[in-house]
Amino acid sequence: MCQQCYARSSPWMPRRGFLALAGAAAATPVLAQVDVGAPSRMRGLVPAEEIEAAATQQYSQMMAQAKQQGALAPANHPQLQRLRQIATRLIPQSLRWNERARSWRWEVNLIGSKQINAFCMPGGKIAVFTGLLDQLQLTDDEAAMVVGHEIAHAVREHARARIAKEQGTGALLSLGAQLFGLGQLGDVAASIGTQLLTLRFSREDEIEADLVGLEMGARGAYSPDAAVTLWEKMGRASGGNQGPAFLSTHPSGPDRLARLRENVPRVRGLYQQAVASGPR
């Protein structure tokens, strides 16, 4: 199925249905909530529209290349269907952290590769590599924690803030020139798009993504305990000289598991409420 066709048939893409889900999520009583503070002010220095347009362009190119190489999973692939079902339950929860997510054209794709990797680009462009699911033998709950972690990076706009910090004034002047018609917007989009794939998130970004993803998963009726077992598996996979590609852009630390264990009880009530509210 083409990406455009998938977008039209996706269970969260019809505007009315998606907003209904989002409204239901927003109406859920808050039993607990992780504390991540306000988003970085740096993100406001780079227009969200520019970052999201660049991400869409880069993502489309990547999916086209994967399809050409026979690595893009078809719509009837069981693992892709599994991921899209997980995303269907997580995406409505993401609006709590970013209202812009209401208008994103969400996509979820699976790429055949031995890499242990996954990402969610600005604007809701998700990709998961088969190596992550197969080599780590992830349960649905653990897979949901990965997808939730990646969605958290997107809704907290970590990439937007990192680009502002790394490019500094030069990037702002360049983007400003494009906005006022003083250059080629495509060149800027291509430059930013390339950076989106190589950005190394900070320790603070990772803490936020862990905690927001944890709560997002719990609200989607995925066991928060899976966040701990996920990172235990990730740690074992990184035992060799070359760890997972995922960890090259998502630096970990010895306190990660301790922080997750500390926060699991804070969202357990949300998980129990979500499970009680209906079948998974």
Q: Locate all alpha helices (DSSP H) within the chain, ordered by sequence.
A: 3-9, 15-27, 48-68, 78-94, 130-135, 140-155, 158-179, 185-196, 203-219, 225-237, 245-249, 256-276
- Out of 50, 52, 142, 150, pick the active-site residue: 150
Active site residue 166: no
Cα 251 from Cα 246, distance rounded (Å):
9
Would you say 200 and 253 are in contact if contact means Cβ atoms under 8 Å apart?
A: no
Secondary structure of residue 37 in the 3-state scheme = coil
b/e burial code for range 218-230 (CB count within 10 A of at least 16 → b): bbbbbbbbbbbbb
* 68 CA to centre of own chain: 24
The one-letter code for the residue type at 203 is R
- The set of catalytic residues is 150
